[in-house]
């Protein structure tokens, strides 16, 4: 039971933290239509986070709610992948982060639809329809910017340098994840990893971008070991509930 709770929280936290980051763009997008696109995606991610938190809360019991899970856990208890918490940087870096995560979620949700846990399967089925839009939108932007002007190409190259080492963590299973793979609750990630790399490389190629050559990949987020960026993000996200416990509107 504790494994499925941890895994559900990993999925929930990744969506919540990315939505919080993306939400920082609200009112600051480069043009109105893309500002709206970004906030729409953010809302989808937040909705998916809520579904996962609600499910985790029923598994945990003991008075846990989606709110207590989102607002009252500490940094070391958050299990989101490190990529989600990385700062927005410029528009190119935000787009690239979204693309890497959407590509992962697209493959992951597709595989979870057939997993043995009914509720995870239902959330994945619902989320997949939204992620499909996110993936298409972010892929187009990666190509548009990478294969755009000298300036946009330079920025995308920098973004790739900044984010690349965070793209391996998806496929390095945490102990709770490996447990669920071994007992057949969720599918193995090996096949997903290959498809992921193929898809990423094909879009980067169309974008005229070369993935960095090093093979070192960061990890830790899934088990609560985060970069220096998560703490300040949580301080802002949880401020209200920490300052006025139980506040509602």
Partner 1 sequence: MEIINNDTALIWKALEEVKDPEVPVLSIIDLGIVRNVVVSDEELIVTITPTYTGCPAMDMIATDIKLLLAGRGFKKVTIQNILSPAWTTDWMSEEGKQKLKEYGIAPPQPRQQICNNDLFAPNEAIPCPRCNSYHTRRISEFGSTACKALYQCNDCKEPFDYFKCH
**Which residues here bind partner 1, judged by CB under 8 A?**
33-34, 36-37, 40-41, 43-48, 50-51, 121-123, 125-127, 129-130, 132-133, 135-137, 139-140, 143
Q: Do 222 and 170 contact (CB within 8 A), yes or no?
A: no
* φ, ψ of residue 247 in degrees (nearest 5): -60, 140
Return the number of the residue (46 or 181) whose C-beta is nearest partner 1. Answer: 46
10 Å CB burial of residue 82 (0-12, 13-18, 19+) is buried
Q: Do 79 and 224 contact (CB within 8 A), yes or no?
A: yes
Q: How far is the CB of 168 from partner 1 (least distance, A)?
A: 25
Q: Do 176 and 165 contact (CB within 8 A), yes or no?
A: no
CA 217 to chain centre: 16
Return the number of the residue (126 or 229) whose C-beta is nearest partner 1. Answer: 126
Return the number of the residue (103 or 169) whose C-beta is nearest partner 1. Answer: 103
Q: How far is the CB of 24 from partner 1 (least distance, A)?
A: 17
Return the number of the residue (92 or 127) whose C-beta is nearest partner 1. Answer: 127
Helix/strand number for the chain, H first, E second: 10, 0
Q: Which of 80, 106, 104, 108 is nearest to 16 (CA)?
A: 80
Return the number of the residue (118 or 228) whose C-beta is nearest partner 1. Answer: 118
Q: Do 30 and 102 contact (CB within 8 A), yes or no?
A: no
Q: How far is the CB of 223 from partner 1 (least distance, A)?
A: 27
Q: How far is the CB of 119 from partner 1 (least distance, A)?
A: 8
Q: How far is the CB of 172 from partner 1 (least distance, A)?
A: 27
């Amino acid at each position: 039971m504790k494994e499925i709770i941890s895994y559900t929280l990993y999925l929930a936290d990744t969506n919540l933290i990315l939505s919080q980051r993306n939400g920082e763009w609200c009112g600051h997008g480069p043009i109105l239509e893309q500002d709206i696109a970004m906030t729409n995606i953010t809302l989808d991610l937040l909705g998916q986070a809520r579904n996962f938190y609600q499910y985790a809360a029923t598994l945990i019991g003991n008075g846990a709610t989606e709110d207590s899970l989102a607002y009252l856990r500490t940094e070391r208890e958050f299990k989101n992948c490190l990529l989600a918490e990385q700062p927005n940087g410029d528009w190119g870096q935000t787009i690239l982060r979204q693309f890497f995560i959407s590509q992962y979620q697209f493959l992951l949700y597709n595989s979870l639809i057939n997993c043995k846990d009914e509720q995870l399967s239902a959330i994945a089925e619902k989320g997949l329809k939204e992620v499909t839009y996110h993936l298409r939108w972010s892929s187009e932007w990666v190509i548009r910017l990478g294969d755009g002007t000298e300036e946009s190409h330079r920025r995308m190259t920098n973004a790739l340098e900044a984010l690349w080492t965070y793209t391996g963590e998806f496929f390095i299973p945490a102990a709770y994840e490996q447990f669920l793979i071994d007992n057949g609750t969720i599918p193995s990630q090996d096949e997903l990893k290959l498809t992921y790399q193929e898809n990423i490389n094909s879009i980067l190629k169309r974008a005229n971008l070369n993935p960095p050559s090093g093979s070192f990949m960061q990890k830790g987020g899934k088990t609560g070991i985060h970069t220096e960026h998560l703490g300040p993000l949580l301080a802002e996200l949880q401020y209200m509930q920490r300052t006025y416990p139980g506040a509602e509107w």
